[in-house]
Amino acid sequence: MMPLQENIQTAVTRITDYLSQHQTASSWQLKVMFRLSASVLYLALGVLYSQGKISLEADGINYHVTWGQNPASVQPATPIEENM
């Protein structure tokens, strides 16, 4: 695995462990607590969101992250075809 992928997977595991015990946190709390770069934090949250394990609610520049509240995975948008 590449270093970025390892960092993301480590962040996913740490965030999962924390949220399974505490149920909720802000994105800022997770970033500071686990000393994550913004990129790794949001990629890890994206993984958990796409798996349906968390819900995200925007609050200004932060997000409220809640464990186990996302009922279904969001399907990716279909790419737009361009006529060339």
Q: What is the per-residue DSSP string for 21-73?
A: HH-EEEHHHHHHHTT--HHHHHHHHHHHHHTTSEEEEEETTEEEEEET---SP
Alpha carbon distance 9, 64 (integer Å): 21
Q: Which pLDDT score is estimated for 75?
A: 57
Q: Is the pLDDT of residue 23 over 80?
A: yes
Domain 3-67 has CATH 1.10.10.10: yes
What ranges do the domains of the chain cover? 3-67
Alpha carbon distance 66, 83 (integer Å): 42
Q: Is the pLDDT of residue 9 over 80?
A: yes
Tokens, residue 40: 């790794």
- pLDDT tens track for 30-52: 999 999 999 999 999 999 999 99
Quote the percentage of the chain above a pLDDT of 90: 77
Higher pLDDT, 79 or 41: 41
